[in-house]
């Protein structure tokens, strides 16, 4: 049996011209044989910040209500570039104690579900009573003595309660992002590039009127997220936890985030079986199951923002959606707080996960990926992203200085911001250099 339980995505790289530590992909034998059983498991708390809700969105095929003009304007303002929103959470001591206990249990190694607690919240002065709140995270998991990442669910106990057309708010504590700007820049870059990624801005978060600091305000990926972006948002949206990949032995690590779960793990396994058949017309056959143009551009943009932490470099920090219109999977970034890794352009061909391994071992796919890298490098320069960075940097400077629970000193944070700015400027040419474009 292939050791998917421990090494579902083992570190690999390939000699496609520039990948360091490369090895020859040969005739496809580098893709491990599949097992014939699924492994279904909970989220691993050791390596990544993925986590899942226990309540999957299962709206009808008509989707949630279409946002009106006022809601859409509020949504755009909520995720507007350079915006910093005020979120004031009010919870009882008992609710805090319960959430702290969940964190303690999770850090002890127990696989448990974080329980929703009752609370109230004010978002930019608009009050919502009896909302649901819980802590979130894995490697970033902290209790209320520190700086907890939080999920808010406005309509858990009060039906129809939304803000800017949103039912859920995700607030990330940025403890793995010393710059406290990377996540916002990654999602904004994808938005500017026309990618169907989440939107993000910043928030100053208060708990019972105590300042907890500067957070990333990240759009939650749920049914409303889908219907904002797709003609048909009724399909299955999957979050990739540690080891999630396209095989029977790793299919159980995909957690359903929205949809009915109508056999899409079968579709994941079918894609895995097809990618192992490395014979003629591999790229076109895979394209019938996975939108391969979307995949190579998704991968190229991950390199453009220096993200070597998620799929296909590592088996986490990714969502996939099986679009009912064509039955193919699309890819979306998640967990981007470790982006702007200075080595990313050099490791443009690094893939430890099955679809990436197969792609760099296939002449047609590799060529398509290299074209995508060139397009992305050109687009990154044309978008003048450093101007957007400067805007966000200035807009959040005061809140950064006031953050009492930063994981890094203000001096360190500003140093890492300067490093991120330099990466934004240098990555396009470095991608061309290392990919031989």
3-state secondary structure the chain: CCCHHHHCCCCCCECCCCCCCCECCCCCCCCCCCCCCCCCCCCCCCCCCCCCCCCCECCCCCCCCCCCHHHHHHHHHHCCCCCEEEEEEECCHHHHHHHHHHHHHHHCCCCCCCCCEEEEEEECCEEEEEEEEEEECCCCCCCCCCCCEEEEECCCCCCCCCECCECEEEEECCCCCCCCCHHHHHHHHHHHCCCCCCCEEEEEEEECCEEEEEEEEECCCCHHHHHHHCCCCCCCEEEECCCCCCCCCCHHHEEEEECCCCCHHHHHHHHHHHHHCCCCCHHHHHHCCECHHHHHHHHHHHHHCCCCCCCCCCCCCEEEEEECCCCEEEEEECCCCCCCCCCCCCCCCCCCCHHHHHHHCCHHHHHHHHHHHHHHHHHHHHCCHHHHHHHHHHHHHHHHHHCCCCCCCHHHHHHHHHHHHHHHHHHHHHHHHHHCC
Mean pLDDT along residues 95-100 = 96
pLDDT value at 48 more than 60: no
Q: Specify the pLDDT at position 33.
A: 53
Whether 120 maps to a domain, the answer reads yes
170 assigned to some structural domain: yes
Separation of alpha carbons 57 and 55, rounded Å: 7
Q: Show the tokens assigned to 279.
A: 């014979």
Q: Find, among 274, 288, 313, 293, the residue nearest to 365 by Cα.
A: 293
Examine the fold and report which residue of 363, 379, 395 is the final residue of a domain before the chain moves on. Answer: 379
Cα dihedral sign, 95-101-105-107:
positive
Tokens 């219109």 label which residue? 325
Mean pLDDT, the chain, rounded, equals 87
Q: Is residue 338 part of a domain?
A: yes
pLDDT tier at 346 (50, 70, 90 boundaries)? very high
**pLDDT at res. 41:** 38
Last-in-domain residue among 168, 196, 225: 225
Number of Cα atoms under 13 Å in the Cβ half of residue 296 = 21
What confidence category does residue 262 fall into, taking pLDDT thresholds of 50, 70 and 90?
A: low
Q: Are residues 27 and 139 in the same domain?
A: no
Q: Which of 45-59, 106-120, 169-183, 251-265 has the lowest mean pLDDT?
A: 45-59
Specify the pTM: 0.88
Residue 392 lies in a domain: no
> Considering the chain, what percentage of its residues have pLDDT values greater than 70?
85
Handedness of CA 400, 405, 410, 415 (dihedral sign): negative
Residues 18 and 136 in one domain: no
pLDDT over threshold 80, residue 8: no
The pLDDT value recorded for residue 58 is 46
Q: Are residues 185 and 243 in the same domain?
A: no
Q: Which two tokens stand for residue 125?
A: 């002065």
pLDDT at 61: 54
Using the predicted structure, report yes or no on whether residue 96 has a pLDDT greater than 70. Answer: yes
Q: Is residue 270 pLDDT above 80, yes or no?
A: yes
Nearest-angstrom CA–CA distance, 346 and 431: 7
* pLDDT of 47 higher than 70: no
Predicted confidence (pLDDT) per residue in 161-170, tens digit: 999 999 999 9
Nearest to 349 by CA among 256, 414, 435: 435
Count of domains forming the chain = 2
299-337 tens-digit pLDDT = 999 999 999 999 999 999 999 999 999 999 999 999 999
332 and 258 assigned to the same domain? yes
pLDDT digits (tens, 9 = 90+) for 384-432: 999 999 999 999 999 999 999 999 999 999 999 999 999 999 999 999 9
- Taking residues 135-141, report their average pLDDT: 85
State pLDDT tens for residues 175-194: 999 999 999 999 999 999 99
Handedness of CA 30, 35, 40, 44 (dihedral sign): negative
Does the pLDDT of residue 139 top 90, yes or no?
Answer: no
Residues 282 and 334 in one domain: yes
pLDDT digits (tens, 9 = 90+) for 17-37: 333 333 333 333 345 555 544
- Evaluate whether residue 437 is within a structural domain: no
| Residue where one domain finishes, among candidates 200, 225, 250 | 225
> What whole-number distance in Å separates Cα of residue 1 and Cα of residue 35?
6
pLDDT at position 32 is 52
The angle subtended at Cα 263 by Cα 262 and Cα 264, nearest 5°, is 95
Residues 126 and 91 in one domain: yes
Report the alpha-carbon distance of residue 244 to residue 376 in Å, rounded. Answer: 26
Same domain, 331 and 253: yes
The pLDDT value recorded for residue 6 is 32
| Tokens read off for 124 | 């930019």
Do 220 and 79 belong to one domain?
A: yes
> Is residue 364 assigned to a domain?
yes
Q: Is pLDDT at 108 greater than 90 in this prediction?
A: no
Task: Look at residue 290 and tell me whether its pLDDT is greater than 60.
Answer: yes
> What would the two tokens of residue 217 be?
């305000």
Q: How far apart are CA 323 and CA 219, in angstroms?
A: 20
> Cα(419)–Cα(44) distance, rounded to whole angstroms?
31
* Backbone dihedral angles phi then psi of residue 25, each to the nearest 5 degrees: -70, -15
**Mean pLDDT throughout 371-378?**
98
Least confident of 38-42, 195-199, 313-317, 326-330: 38-42
Domain membership of residue 405 (yes or no) is no
User: Structural domain of residue 286, as residue ranges?
Assistant: 7-48+230-379
Q: Percentage of the chain surpassing pLDDT 90? A: 77
Q: Which of 404, 340, 399, 312 is nearest to 189 (CA)?
A: 340
The answer to whether position 143 is within a domain reads: yes
């Amino acid at each position: 049996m292939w050791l998917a339980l421990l090494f579902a995505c083992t570190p690999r790289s390939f000699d496609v011209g520039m990948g360091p530590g490369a090895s020859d992909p040969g005739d496809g034998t580098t893709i491990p044989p599949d097992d014939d059983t699924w492994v279904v498991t909970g989220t691993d708390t050791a390596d990544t910040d993925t986590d899942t809700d226990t309540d999957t969105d299962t709206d009808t095929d008509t989707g949630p209500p279409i946002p009106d003009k006022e809601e859409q304007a509020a949504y755009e303002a909520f995720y507007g570039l350079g915006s910093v929103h005020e979120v004031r959470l009010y919870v009882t001591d008992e609710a805090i104690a319960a959430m702290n206990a969940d964190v303690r249990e999770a850090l002890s190694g127990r696989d448990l579900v974080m329980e929703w607690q009752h609370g109230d919240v004010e978002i930019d002065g608009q009050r919502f009573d009896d909302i649901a709140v819980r802590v979130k995270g894995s490697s970033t998991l902290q209790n209320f003595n520190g700086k907890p990442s939080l999920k808010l669910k406005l309509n858990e106990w009060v039906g129809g309660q939304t803000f800017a057309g949103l039912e859920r708010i995700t607030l990330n504590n940025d403890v793995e992002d010393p710059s406290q700007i990377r996540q916002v820049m990654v999602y904004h870059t994808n938005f500017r590039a026309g990618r169907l990624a989440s939107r993000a801005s910043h928030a100053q978060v208060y708990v019972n009127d105590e300042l907890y600091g500067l957070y990333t305000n990240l759009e939650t990926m749920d049914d409303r997220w889908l219907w904002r972006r797709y003609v048909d948002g009724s399909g299955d949206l999957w979050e990739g936890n540690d080891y999630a990949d396209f095989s029977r032995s790793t299919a159980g690590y995909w957690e359903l985030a929205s949809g009915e779960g109508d056999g899409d793990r079968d579709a994941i396994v079918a894609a895995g079986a097809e990618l192992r058949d490395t014979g003629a017309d591999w790229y076109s056959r895979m394209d019938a199951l996975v939108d391969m143009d979307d995949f190579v551009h998704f991968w190229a943009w991950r390199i453009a923002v220096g993200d070597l932490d998620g799929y296909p470099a590592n088996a986490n920090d990714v969502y996939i959606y099986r679009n009912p219109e064509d039955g193919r999977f699309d890819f979306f970034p998640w967990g981007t707080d470790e982006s702007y890794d200075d080595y990313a352009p050099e490791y443009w061909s690094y893939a430890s996960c099955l679809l990436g391994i197969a792609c760099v071992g296939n002449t047609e796919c590799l060529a398509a990926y290299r074209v995508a890298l060139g397009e992305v490098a050109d687009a990154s320069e044309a978008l003048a992203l450093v101007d957007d960075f400067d805007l966000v940097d200035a807009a959040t400077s005061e809140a950064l200085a006031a953050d009492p629970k930063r994981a890094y000193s203000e001096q360190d944070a500003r140093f890492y911001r300067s490093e991120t700015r330099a990466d934004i400027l240098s990555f396009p040419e470095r991608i061309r250099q290392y990919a031989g474009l």
